[in-house]
Structure 1
Amino acid sequence: MMDDVSASAAGSSSGSGDRRNSKRPKYSRFTQQELPACKPILTPLWVISLFTLVGIIFIPIGLASLLASNDVVEIVDRYETACVPPSMINDKVGYIQNPAISKACARVLKVPKDMDKPIYVYYQLDNFYQNHRRYVKSRNDKQLRDASKAYETSGCDPEKTTVDGTPIVPCGLIAWSLFNDTYSFTHGNGESLIVNKKDISWKSDRDHKFGSDVYPKNFQNGALIGGGKLDSKKPLSKQEDLIVWMRTAALPTFRKLYGRIEMDLKENDIITVNLENNYNTYSFGGKKKLVLSTTSWLGGKNDFLGIAYLSVGGLCFFLATAFTVLYLVTPRKLGDPSFLSWNRNSGIQ
């Protein structure tokens, strides 16, 4: 009898010792993922209905997007090669770097369809990597916002100061490489088309990123000129070409807004463009294009969104049809949901 008691006592003490030494966490419905949750069972009817619903929603959106994109009238004219004099066609870099050679160039555009105002004028650059890390970082936002921070040039290498150490405002490679081709437009009847350059930049940029008391200083005064010059009598918040340029693009091919033409153009109208081909894209094999475009409720011309919606909607319809045929031809008996582990456990409790 004494042996049994001692044995049971020893067993209980060893059991309690095992529990104390165990690394098993305390039971919790949270840690064991047993909290109430939605656990849907995807039956053939649910899957077919879901794919059909997605197709019904996506295909009309895709069609509407494509129709809106097709309503946009766009004129694209590549001119960087056409504006090089024949005698300099084999030395384009020498042509663009020689200030003695006139950069004036005339282009003739024909309007393919009626273009309702406003007509947006863009310049497009190809093979220009504004997203390069060192290029993107070459600016100082404090200097752009506050006149008292004119000496803040950190991060602006290599365009931070002049030879004598005077700070450049605005400093950095982005401002230094400002696009400086210019365009003027004449209608076929000799009437000038005015390009409105007001409010072409983001209002948030004008109000918060570029100060109304910050004026250009020592800009493009070095031996190597990168791009356009700025009016030293206008604050940076009013120099919208600079503001547009300094919102860097994510891709090597991009468009930036140059202005708006507030006049309707009719089909087959002839537009003469007098431009100054100043910007050097020849050194890095870049391309320059002038773009005139209308807009729709969806924005500019872009077929990708409509094609993407139509592709997804069409794929969903195809899968719904395929699953329907498969279910009708070779039906499969569904299992009893009551045998699922979570249903079985809840029944036991």
Structure 2
Amino acid sequence: MEVDARVTSVVGTDNLPTPVLRGRSKAIHQFTQQTLPACKPVLTPAWVIGTFFLMGVVFIPVGLISLHVSQSVSEIVDRYDVDCVPDTFKNNKIAYIKNASISKGCHRYLKVHKHMKAPIYIYYQLDNFYQNHRRYVKSRSDSQLLNGLGYNKTSSCEPQAYENGLPIVPCGLIAWSLFNDTFSFSRGTKKLQIERKNISWKSDRDHKFGKNVFPFNFQNGSLIGGGKLDTTIPLSDQEDLIVWMRTAAFPSFRKLYGRIEEDLEEDDIIVVHLMNNYNTYSFGGTKMIVLSTSSWLGGRNSFLGVAYIFVGSCSILIALVFLLLHVKNPRPYGDTLYVSGSRKDISS
């Protein structure tokens, strides 16, 4: 009787009508029972070959357009760190750069090979400078940059957190090593004006650097790392510092110095008056100055176009290989002989 009662109970439960579910409860029920609607595409040979071929047809033209646009950018690159060292210090560049009594002024002459339309961006480029070093990247205090002396927890800035018992603003190795070469340009007897405003990210100026935070006790120690800062200008307006504080991911990088808002004509000779202050000689680095126009894709960078062409070419190659295999050894769609359970029967 007990067995019959249990059977009756189970049978009775199974025959009960399924409750009507709505809204969220229905969705949860479908999810737990794995009955949600789903797209289950069938990857037939035609679909796979067509998809790869379509990728190639789309990617290759996009890559060619990107490469053409990149090559249309006019760019002048000049390395000056070697030629700006006096002949008497060619064999001891470190002594030259550390000797404050020696003039660091230098002149460079750049020829414009084709018309450069304004705005013309001025970059300085450093090589073999590892701004991505973990200790270097961590040596800063974002809270101090925003709040100034009101924020005292600057242990992450060591060894540039305090000097002579007083806090340093801005603290850390990144600010301490601020790039301090300067540039001015002239064309013939006319000086070219350099626009130094709005060269940094607006989000950095508005949200990461305080408008009422001023440099304090900066570069006052015995070991000077790089440039100094104007103590009367808030950090949010010191855009050289803001640009420098956004560290680069690779050891070779460019950072924006300013803009020339005049067109440069073909065969113009641009005279660059620079101060070769920054010490890259101690670690075997190099320094370059770059003048560049821009396009709707930005500056000159062939990687994007080459990557698109490479992926598109590989897609077409894969499509051709799959097509040849399909033509040579066609597989009937839905043939049960190719099911793994039937292979033993085929082999036997």
Q: TM-score range by the shorter chain?
A: 0.7 to 0.9
CA deviations 1:187-246 (Å, max 9, x no partner) are: 1x2111111000001111111111111111111111111000000111111100001001
What is residue 226 of structure 1 aligned with on the other side? Answer: 225
In structure 2, runs of 5+ residues without a counterpart are 8-28, 341-348
Greater CA drift, 326-335 or 267-276: 326-335
SS of the residue corresponding to residue 144 of structure 1 reads helix
Q: 1:291: which partner in 2?
A: 290
Alpha-carbon distance, 1:138 to partner: 1.0
Counterpart contact for 1:150–1:167, Cα < 8 Å: no
- 1:344 is matched with none
CA distance in 2, matches of 1:35, 1:145: 50
Once residues 196 and 337 of structure 1 are traced to their aligned partners in structure 2, the CA distance between those partners, rounded to angstroms, is 73
Corresponding residue SS for 1:146: helix
Partner of 2:176: 176
Query: Which amino acid in the other structure matches residue 265 of structure 1?
Result: L
- What's the C-alpha RMSD, in Å, of the aligned pairs? 2.5
Question: What is the aligned partner in structure 2 of residue 135 from structure 1?
Answer: 136
C-alpha distance in structure 2 between counterparts of 1:91 and 1:63, whole Å = 47
Quote the offset at 1:183 in angstroms: 0.4
SS at match of 2:277: coil
Do the aligned partners of residues 29 and 239 (structure 1) sit closer, same or farther apart at CA in structure 2, a change above 3 Å counting?
closer
Q: Deviations over 1:56-99 (max 9, x none)?
A: 21111101101110110111111111111111011011010000
CA distance in 1, matches of 2:230, 2:159: 22
Q: Is residue 176–residue 220 contact of structure 1 (8 Å, CA) maintained in 2?
A: yes
Deviation at 1:29, TM superposition (A): 9.3
Q: 1:68 to 1:337 in 2, by over 3 A?
A: farther
Question: Quick one: distance in 1 between partners of 2:160 and 2:149?
Answer: 19
CA shift for structure 1 position 288 = 0.5
1:29-50 per-residue CA deviation (whole Å, 9 max, x = no partner) reads 9789776543333221111110
Output the CA distance in 1 between the equivalents of 2:242 and 2:318.
Answer: 49
- TM-score with structure 2 setting the length: 0.85
Q: Following TM superposition, by how much is the alpha carbon of 1:166 offset from its aligned partner in structure 2, in angstroms?
A: 0.9
One-letter amino acid of the counterpart of residue 333, structure 2: L
By how many angstroms is 1:340 displaced? Answer: 7.7
Residues 1:339 and 1:40: Cα distance change in structure 2 (over 3 Å): farther
- C-alpha contact 1:111 1:270 (8 A) present in aligned 2: yes
Structure-2 residue corresponding to 1:328: 327
Q: What code does the residue aligned with 1:195 have?
A: I
Structure 1: stretches of 5+ with no match in the other structure: 13-27, 342-349
Q: Which residue of 1 aligns with 2:22?
A: none
Distance change (3 Å), C-alpha of 1:337 and 1:206: farther
Provide the residue aligned with 1:198 in structure 2: 197
Between the aligned partners of 1:337 and 1:39, the Cα distance in structure 2 is: 20
- 8 Å contact from structure 1 (residues 200, 257) kept in 2: yes
Q: Distance in 2 between matches of 1:294 and 1:318?
A: 36
Secondary structure of 1:105's counterpart equals strand
- Report what 1:185 is aligned to: 185
Is 2:148–2:169's contact at 8 Å kept on the other side of the alignment?
A: no
For residue 152 of structure 1, report the CA deviation from its aligned partner: 4.0
Contact 1:215 1:233 in 2 (8 A): yes
Identity %: 62
CA distance in 2, matches of 1:139, 1:327: 60
Mark the CA change 1:30 to 1:208 in structure 2 (over 3 Å): closer, same or farther. closer
Structure 1 residues 149-158 or 52-61, which shifts more?
A: 149-158
Letter in 1 for 2:209: F
1 CA distance for matches of 2:269 and 2:116? 13
TM-score, normalised relative to structure 1: 0.85
Instruction: Summarize the Cα distance change of 1:340–1:325 in structure 2 as closer, same or farther, 3 Å threshold.
Output: closer
Other-structure match for 1:19: none
* Aligned positions of 1:63-102 closer than 5 A: 63-102=64-103
Letter in 1 for 2:282: S
Give the Cα–Cα distance (whole angstroms) in 2 for the partners of residues 304 and 181 of structure 1: 29
Distance in 2 between residues matched to 1:340 and 1:262, nearest whole Å: 70
Distance in 2 between the 1:239 and 1:142 partners?
17
CA distance in 1, matches of 2:107, 2:338: 80
Output the CA distance in 1 between the equivalents of 2:101 and 2:282. Answer: 19
Question: Following the alignment from structure 1 to structure 2, what is the Cα–Cα distance between the partners of residues 39 and 338?
Answer: 22
Partner of 1:211: 210
> For residues 52 and 337 of structure 1, what CA distance do their matches in structure 2 show?
29
Measure, in 2, the Cα distance between the counterparts of 1:142 and 1:325.
62
Q: AA paired with 1:274?
A: H
Residue identity in the other structure for 2:180: N
Q: 1:175 is aligned with what amino acid? A: A
Question: Alignment partner of 1:282: what SS?
Answer: coil
State the Cα distance separating 1:150 from its structure 2 match.
5.2
- Which residue number in structure 2 is paired with residue 302 of structure 1? 301
Contact 2:119 2:263 in 1 (8 A): yes
After TM superposition, the structure 1 = structure 2 runs for residues 46-125 of structure 1, keeping only pairs within 5 Å, are 46-125=47-126
1:210 touches 1:237 (CA, 8 Å); kept in 2? Answer: yes
The answer as to whether partners of 1:150 and 1:169 remain within 8 angstroms in 2 is no
- Give 1:321 deviation, angstroms: 2.5
Q: CA deviation at 1:339?
A: 9.8
C-alpha deviation, 1:329, in angstroms: 4.0
Q: Which amino acid aligns with 1:156?
A: C
Alignment partner of 2:157: what SS? coil
Which digits, 9 at most, give the CA deviation of each residue in 1:90-145, with x for residues without a partner? 10110100001111111110111110000000001111111111111111112111
